[in-house]
Structure 1
């Protein structure tokens, strides 16, 4: 029996190792590319052994990309700041609006509530191109074109339905009797929401916020159409790497590593909330 258990543990460890290597190898290879020159990257056959250089990162931070025939000015760090500001602000607004709405849909059953909730979710299904033209015209009329406020508003089409539906499920998993007992003790609706529902659904709210941040960070089409170069996030600003004079793969790799760093760090920090959130409904009796 002990031999069988040890054999299963070894197989499980080998399977996990293979899966990790399979999914992490592209990121590892891009990480290596970010410390190489074009000549090293394009050599045949490729080799993991090279003399590392920080030139690619210095070029991105300074905003001057040295090409084969010319020097290109690029505001990569400004684009990185735009991504961080737009994503954080959009998720914050989405949580402020979506969490109370999710609690209302979970606890206050009224006529048409399911239809309203599904209508909000349908915004997530709609392709962005479907709403871009009317949004562009509408924003130009009310003065929100090419503004951070307009982009944050549009980003709610991405983050708000996601937060609403995920957090609603966590609120529905919380036994309502706990809240009823707290209210019988003389506390109001909002006090119950703040002191009982919010702490219990905390892991679910954190998980929803993390997923919403990743979707907002990765958005491309809204910022491409609705914002100018000085307000575009890194997903759009990365287009400047491809020019008529050539493609510097090392600088692209360095840009990828810098652009995934915030989401990767956030995922590492919030992974315990994800685990708690996934096991939230498993302890119900």
Structure 2
């Protein structure tokens, strides 16, 4: 009787989990379904329709969608690279060195992530015009540091704080230089946190809308802004819009699958301290 009850309980739990998974993923499933629906059947809610690839052909081959994706990859990837190069040493400094108002500076860095983008985008627009970096890849990579760097610094700082300082002292006694210790010992130890924070920074930069909307124009158009072109003035091409949204989600998904081993470990064991 006990074994039957356990089996029934397991079946019910798994069934409930499946139902919840379908409920949670249904918006994504419906978006993928819309990519195959023709415009004439777009407003029907049934699953019976004549599937077509016209939406994919129109978006991928008859528009500048690929160039928009390239712009997003350049800007988001460049922003993450700059954040890693500048943010990892900053995280190490905040974790290891004691100096006046260290925690205030760390909190100030973190506050940049939570500040509304619209709060600073208009002054930045004027600065970009003065510096002539408006509508450039460099300009967006620079401003995306407000999105990507605070997160990376705080996550990586927690990993540095978890590493015992005695390891560095022992390596110095053995004759290693600070650069050898940093790159050969510390970087491998923080790799899970670095990978997970870099992925999250990439996703946040990839999904940014306000900054590229105001600070970019015709030369640089990330996908989050360019995707609105599929909303016409008189009618909306929802099938093409669904294709654009579905394909734009693939880079982050592929990136996450490629580094899932480090990602799971980083998100499981990483901790934000302070």
Give 5+ residue unaligned stretches, structure 2: none
- 1:41 matched to 2:30: no
Q: How many residues are paired up?
A: 270
Pick from 70, 78, 82: which aligns with 1:93? 82
Tell whether the 8 Å contact from 1:78 to 1:230 is kept in structure 2 after alignment. Answer: no
Q: 1:52, CA displacement in angstroms? A: 1.5
- TM-score, normalization: structure 2? 0.92
Q: 1:33, CA displacement in angstroms? A: 0.8
Encode CA deviations 1:67-99: one digit per residue, 9 max, x unaligned.
xxxxxxx42221111111111111011111111
Alpha-carbon separation, structure 1, partners of 2:56 and 2:7: 46
Change (3 A) 1:122 1:197: same
Alpha-carbon separation, structure 1, partners of 2:167 and 2:6: 42
Tell whether the 8 Å contact from 1:144 to 1:150 is kept in structure 2 after alignment. Answer: yes
Question: Cα RMSD over matched residues?
Answer: 1.9
SS at match of 1:247: coil
Give 5+ residue unaligned stretches, structure 1: 64-73
Corresponding residue for 1:133? Answer: 122
- TM-score, normalization: structure 1? 0.88
Pick from 176, 191, 207: which aligns with 2:165? 176
Tell whether the 8 Å contact from 2:256 to 2:263 is kept in structure 1 after alignment. Answer: no
Tell whether the 8 Å contact from 1:88 to 1:213 is kept in structure 2 after alignment. Answer: yes
Q: 1:17, CA displacement in angstroms? A: 2.1
Corresponding residue for 2:250? Answer: 261
Change (3 A) 1:145 1:186: same
Corresponding residue for 2:28? Answer: 27
Pick from 202, 218, 225: which aligns with 2:214? 225
Encode CA deviations 1:217-249: one digit per residue, 9 max, x unaligned.
000011111111330101101111112231111
Alpha-carbon separation, structure 2, partners of 1:195 and 1:23: 43
Alpha-carbon separation, structure 1, partners of 2:152 and 2:20: 29
Tell whether the 8 Å contact from 1:173 to 1:281 is kept in structure 2 after alignment. Answer: no
1:124-163 aligned within 5 A: 124-163=113-152
Tell whether the 8 Å contact from 1:79 to 1:230 is kept in structure 2 after alignment. Answer: no
Change (3 A) 1:268 1:15: farther
Tell whether the 8 Å contact from 1:121 to 1:165 is kept in structure 2 after alignment. Answer: yes
Change (3 A) 1:247 1:279: closer
- The runs of 4+ residues in structure 1 deviating greater than 3 Å are 1-12, 278-282
